Structure 1
């Protein structure tokens, strides 16, 4: 075992404490404080606070200059009511660590305990606890923070636990790893009237129906040339809940998803054309915009090979991936400034899916995550003794 019993117990306690006190994207102040306190007790050479919001980074330096290796995890929880009955279940109504970010943080915190005892031989390790991953805003905000310039790494690594994969098994592929996604909202404004005289108003009902049909069929457009593109209708609202009112307003929300940023750009162009054409056909005022913007996450070949060597050395069962994960990750932003790679770590075949109200990160994964990250650090930067 890489972690001694006392350290492992401390980390389980930390994980369950983080689980009790979830905070959603952009509001992770208390979580940031808990992490900073833990890191301060493990003697980093540098501790940076408030990166891109409430981000925290601990730096452990080798004896001589060399590459920088960043290990990234996420601070934020989800606005979902937890249904677990564990004694450490969420104490905050309507919020829960139901994606496993509490476990990811704990693994990276475990590296601080290991690095306190044995620094790398060369270079430096940056342990980054990133805010606002769930909204896609956090990684970009951290990278654009002026204070991050001094921390810019040569390599960046991250993981995400994956229900449905056997416990402790890993998944990895070079190239596209997480899909790009964007949330598109559209409003259609006509004119309200009495339901007995709908001809006196201008209802957006038919326009909304046309949009729903058009977006449903959009991925079949021949311009995508067989590339993966997905449009999901996630919300539709027409008028008010009143039998006496013919509607004058509608709102539609869809999620656009693709394996590459190039196909995402084409999805945006096609979407804009649909909105403009349909609103013109029905003579309605239209507005639209984007939220929760995630670039595609692409694994660098060299960084991916570093992870493959670790899996082999640690005798961890590896499942080669043939296609990217459909869900999105803002970790892809780090791939624009350094060699980066993310992998999945199985959290059990019977584990509830991510973002489910009964999800709970398995504490037995803490050791596995620490082993993988610690080995990749040693492989690149060397042991100090």
Structure 2
């Protein structure tokens, strides 16, 4: 159980994290701060440098049993914060308007409780992963040879979900977050004087054809296994000039599916459409993939463990608003473990994630950490 002093210290710690955000892949100081906070808890081991700047604290009972992993994220966003709070970001253009500072703090709260009352069997792993926001972090952690030493049997995570009632958890068995991919398309032709466009090779008509053609590959609709959505997020042709007919074009398309295997199909379809149109208009084409997220699928057994824990401590939950179209790289931990994601509400009128005025609600720290602790006790007992 957390004391009032714990909550004061954890809240102050969360505010300090909030003041010093670091972007995906740059979380050196955040990882160092987390490592320093973990040491007084005397975990069996602290692993650092996992998949980049990832940190994992292992609380090993010394008795055979499953490994239960709880995940938080280290990274922040390239967004200028617009909050009138004493702990607002001190780093221009960067902020924790994603809730990750709160997620880290909930894990540290769990660490305090497990360190005081160890589990009876197995291991608890507190995983602070890097680079969630661009989809690369969980994959890098799981691919790291050191991760094999702490391979999870069960994995759980909580993400704050504005719009849900305070203390309500949205979760479900099966799909909870879609797979997604960012596909950058560069079309190359030849510039010309605007008075003689016939002397060049313009991508304008190709781009005009490609926008509806790509969107037709996925129109959205119900979030079932057949769900596919293509969203055009950025388009550019040439430079802002009245004297030059463009010689280059660029399209950013976000591909989204309910299943990982369908992501492979829609990417292939998108590339084929682009190549066909580029050839028709005499253009070269290059592709670049970024922000690639696997689908997050809640295992039915892990979902059952999570909901039983919430029943035991009277946390309300249901399937309101899930599954969701947004992506989350936690699903990668489910490739080798029974995993479940929960979405915790701060209140229906709360600022949305990734907005400049968002700030994590500190009153959620004891709720999230209590859910985690009950899951750990239900699976591993108390020594």
Q: TM-score range by the shorter chain?
A: over 0.9
Shift of 1:63: 4.2
The alpha-carbon distance between structure 1 residues 252 and 383, as it changes in their structure 2 partners (threshold 3 A), is same
Shift of 1:218: 2.0
The alpha-carbon distance between structure 1 residues 368 and 16, as it changes in their structure 2 partners (threshold 3 A), is same
Q: Which moved more, 1:264-273 or 1:224-233?
A: 224-233
In structure 2, the partner of 1:13 is 12
> What are the within-5 Å matches in structure 2 for residues 346-357 of structure 1?
346-357=345-356
> What are the within-5 Å matches in structure 2 for residues 209-358 of structure 1?
209-220=208-219, 227-321=226-320, 323-358=322-357
In structure 2, the partner of 1:372 is 371
Any idea what the Cα deviations from partners look like across 1:58-116, whole Å, max 9, x if unmatched?
11121411111000100000000000010000000000001100000000011111111
Q: Does 1:99 align with 2:98?
A: yes
Shift of 1:323: 4.6
Q: TM-score, normalised by structure 2?
A: 0.97
In structure 1, the partner of 2:134 is 135
Any idea what the Cα deviations from partners look like across 1:174-205, whole Å, max 9, x if unmatched?
11111000000101111101111111111110
Distance in 2, Cα, partners of 1:347 & 1:277:
48
The alpha-carbon distance between structure 1 residues 91 and 328, as it changes in their structure 2 partners (threshold 3 A), is same
Q: Secondary structure at the match of 2:65?
A: strand
Distance in 1, Cα, partners of 2:46 & 2:283:
54
The CA RMSD measured in Å over matched residues stands at 1.5
In structure 2, the partner of 1:58 is 57
Distance in 1, Cα, partners of 2:339 & 2:74:
19
Any idea what the Cα deviations from partners look like across 1:124-178, whole Å, max 9, x if unmatched?
1000100000011111111111111111111010010000001110011111111
Structure 1 stretches of 4+ with a deviation exceeding 4 A read none
Distance in 2, Cα, partners of 1:239 & 1:45:
57
Distance in 2, Cα, partners of 1:183 & 1:287:
14
Shift of 1:290: 1.1
> What are the within-5 Å matches in structure 2 for residues 136-215 of structure 1?
136-215=135-214
Verify the 8 A CA contact 1:186 1:286 in the aligned structure 2: yes
Q: Does 1:22 align with 2:21?
A: yes
Shift of 1:225: 10
Q: Which moved more, 1:168-177 or 1:212-221?
A: 212-221
The alpha-carbon distance between structure 1 residues 225 and 13, as it changes in their structure 2 partners (threshold 3 A), is closer
Verify the 8 A CA contact 2:172 2:318 in the aligned structure 1: no
Any idea what the Cα deviations from partners look like across 1:248-306, whole Å, max 9, x if unmatched?
00000010001111221221121012111101111111111211110111111111000
Distance in 2, Cα, partners of 1:226 & 1:379:
32
Q: TM-score, normalised by structure 1?
A: 0.97
> What are the within-5 Å matches in structure 2 for residues 99-118 of structure 1?
99-118=98-117
Q: Secondary structure at the match of 1:191?
A: coil
Distance in 1, Cα, partners of 2:376 & 2:88:
33
Verify the 8 A CA contact 1:259 1:324 in the aligned structure 2: no
Any idea what the Cα deviations from partners look like across 1:196-226, whole Å, max 9, x if unmatched?
11111111100011011111222259xx998
Verify the 8 A CA contact 1:183 1:254 in the aligned structure 2: yes
Distance in 2, Cα, partners of 1:99 & 1:240:
34
Flag structure 1 segments of 5+ consecutive residues without an equivalent.
Answer: none
The alpha-carbon distance between structure 1 residues 220 and 23, as it changes in their structure 2 partners (threshold 3 A), is closer
Between the two proteins, the alignment pairs up a number of residues equal to 381
Q: Secondary structure at the match of 1:66?
A: coil
Distance in 1, Cα, partners of 2:205 & 2:143:
44
Q: Secondary structure at the match of 1:122?
A: coil
Q: Secondary structure at the match of 2:72?
A: strand
Verify the 8 A CA contact 1:173 1:322 in the aligned structure 2: no
Distance in 2, Cα, partners of 1:115 & 1:104:
17
